[in-house]
Amino acid sequence: MRIISGFRKRSIEVPDETGYKIDFDYAVELFKDAYMVDEWSQRTLNYHLENLTAFKKFLTTQAVNISLISAKTLDEYVKSMKNADKKKNTINGRVKTLRVFFRILNEKEYIPDNPALGLKTIRGPKPEIFPFSDEQINALLAQPDRTTFAGLRDYMIMQILLDTGVRLEELCNIKYSDVNLKTCRILVRKGKGNKSRTVLFGSETRRTIMKYLKVTGDLDAETNLILNQDGNPLKQRSVQDRISLHASAAGLKGVRPSPHTFRHTFAKKFLMNGGDPYVLRDLLGHNSMSTVIIYLRLFSDDLAKKYQGKSPVDSILRKKINQ
């Protein structure tokens, strides 16, 4: 019999003849312990825990102890989600959680094998991405009544989203001290993946932020930039609702009125203006080029039109002819 020291100095007895014995709840505690070491964001941890709760319900119905979980068990779980008509993103999110969960338990030697080693996400048609058109952006920006605090704030929110491409959560977490009006930069503290980055904004957005700060007055360094009329941080749901309200007033059709659509629009505009895809990856806060490649493919026709007539051969020969 072997002893494995686990979370909170608790010991697990492991009979060699029957394998590792770890109940599900304790395995989750071990997983959370690993989270503290790897310094994931709290949002990421909560996401994984939510997915593990769903998996636990499946295990309960199947009466399967975690020490007996096999690749077949996980395949049955995926099949059960398909039969329940779960969305592709929901299934794939839970699959990714199980990969991380069992990989960590196996790496820490809390379980002898990783049953999720061959577990794959399901394929399906990717949702189409529709950015805002210039006309739709102009219509949106024309809606807020900038003579009011809420209207000026909403106008600023949409400008920041369009100029920086930040995520909704990142927007709502911007502190007063994160905004540098001299250099037109915003520090995004620990965005997705728990990594910080710097994003840029233009002179029009700078002008709007300055007007907004004249209304709010000087804020403490750690005060949120985006506030409600009571001076409290504006919630993410409220930002979404305000954008939807303005989109409805503008009569927008055929596009989702959400903060993430501003992010898609930022990406398209950046590429159309000749921006470097690798710089775009960093500005969006991605670890890989996969999402940027998706943007390049989606906007390929627009990019082709943009660069028609910019042939190096044509420009060189025309220059020679004109000499």
Instruction: Give the H/E segment covering residue 169.
Output: helix 168-172
Query: How many angstroms separate the CA atoms of 152 and 212, rounded?
Result: 7
Domains and their CATH numbers in the chain = 2-107 (1.10.150), 134-307 (1.10.443.10)
Q: Which residue has the tokens 């119905």?
A: 61
Say if CB 260 and CB 168 are below 8 A apart: yes
194 Rama class: left (phi>0) / alpha (psi -120 to 50) / beta: left
Query: In this predicted structure, what is the pLDDT of residue 61?
Result: 64
Query: How many angstroms separate the CA atoms of 86 and 253, rounded?
Result: 27
Band (pLDDT 50/70/90 cuts) for residue 62 is low
Query: How many angstroms separate the CA atoms of 265 and 133, rounded?
Result: 8
Phi/psi at 112 (nearest 5 deg)? -75, -30
Band (pLDDT 50/70/90 cuts) for residue 5 is very low
Structure tokens at 198: 């710097």
Flag whether pLDDT at 307 surpasses 90: no
**Average pLDDT of the residues in 288-306:** 79
Of 171, 159, 158, nearest in space to 246 by CA: 158
CA angle 230, 231, 236 (to 5 degrees): 95
Instruction: Give the H/E segment covering residue 46.
Output: helix 42-62
Band (pLDDT 50/70/90 cuts) for residue 59 is confident
CB neighbours (10 Å) of residue 175? 17
Flag whether pLDDT at 301 surpasses 90: no
Say if CB 184 and CB 195 are below 8 A apart: no
Query: In this predicted structure, what is the pLDDT of residue 164?
Result: 96
**Whole-number percent of the chain with pLDDT over 90:** 57
Q: Which one-letter amino acid corresponds to residue 172? A: C
Band (pLDDT 50/70/90 cuts) for residue 128 is confident
Of 131, 132, 139, 135, nearest in space to 248 by CA: 139
Average pLDDT score over the chain: 85
Phi/psi at 69 (nearest 5 deg)? -70, 130
